[in-house]
Amino acid sequence: MSFSGTVKEELAAQIGAARHCQLAELAALIHFAGSTCENGAHLSFHTENEAVARKCFTLFKKTFNIDNVVMKEKSRLLPDDEMERKVIQALHLTGKDGELIALEMPVSSLLIKNSCCARAYLRGAFLCIGSMSDPAKGYHLEYVCTDSIQARQLCDMMGEFQIDAKTIKRKKYDVVYLKEGAGIVDLLNVMGAHVSLMNLENLRIVKEMRNSINRRVNCETANISKTVTAASKQIEDILLIRDKYGFENLPDNLRQMAEIRLEYPDAALKELGGYLEPPVGKSGVNHRLRRLSEIADGIKP
């Protein structure tokens, strides 16, 4: 199973303890996986995701004691008119005229005024329209909405939990997305996917450790390369001085430096300083090698 599927399985098992939270999550399922049938007169619900269907059935059972819902496309979800009326009222699915609203409209603010209800709504929305990439390959979580107002509401809802979600237009859809590991971790926590959160955190730790090691290795490799290049240039200059100018014409401190560099071509500057008599520090070695380089530059045609 994909990581996204694992998250949904975990979320499907999460049921809010309070009825108002259950109603908020049920509203999300209806808004994002429901539709209307019979000329917009009745609710319909259809999903190919078994976890979503199971969650919908469970919520109807817990909130309204209904266990005979019909989850078929273009079929009435609730064949009993009186029960359907109660559900529609409880989920605030009617407009001022008393008729069913378009389910693409944002959910009533009354259903998500509590933070616990907002958590439940985000959970239900993710079950229906959410997906997440494999965090081993990259961080990306998104909600694919059919309406920009829904997308904005989800984005604002996440913002209440200090989660900085973005929106983007993708063909006819409005997509709410997160691309930072920290934001995805926060959202999983908000929705109650704690096992998935821990799995993601473990992957993040491994990935960050690997990246840190790679950066350190690259840095050390670059430093070694620079050191080797500098040493090669120093030896080339010293050999030119020896052959064209003569060590006997150098001051004692530079002559000693030139001889030590030729004797220890792979040594670092600090190590070279220890071979001198008397020993000198890294900056002193660097100064002498720079003077030798200047002399070599003066010899070159």
The full set of domain ranges for the chain reads 3-202, 222-299
Dist CA 238 CA 299 (whole Å): 11
Model pLDDT, residue 155: 95
pLDDT band, residue 214 (cuts 50/70/90): confident
Question: Is 253 buried (19+), middle (13-18) or exposed (0-12) by CB count in 10 A?
Answer: middle
Q: Tell me, what amino acid is at 13?
A: A
SS3 state at 223: helix
Asked whether residue 125 carries a pLDDT value surpassing 80, the answer given is: yes
pLDDT band, residue 63 (cuts 50/70/90): very high
User: What's the mean per-residue pLDDT of the chain?
Assistant: 88
Class of domain 3-202: alpha beta
Model pLDDT, residue 267: 83
CB 179 within 8 A of CB 194: no
157-210 pLDDT, tens digit per residue, is 999 999 999 999 998 999 999 998 889 999 999 999 999 998 888 877 777 777
Asked whether residue 98 carries a pLDDT value surpassing 80, the answer given is: no
Which of 85, 80, 72, 81 lies closest to 34 in space, CA to CA?
72
Model pLDDT, residue 96: 76
CA torsion 283-284-285-286 (nearest 10°) is 50
CB 154 within 8 A of CB 143: yes
Average pLDDT over residues 284-300: 87
pTM across the whole model: 0.71
Q: Tell me, what amino acid is at 296?
A: A
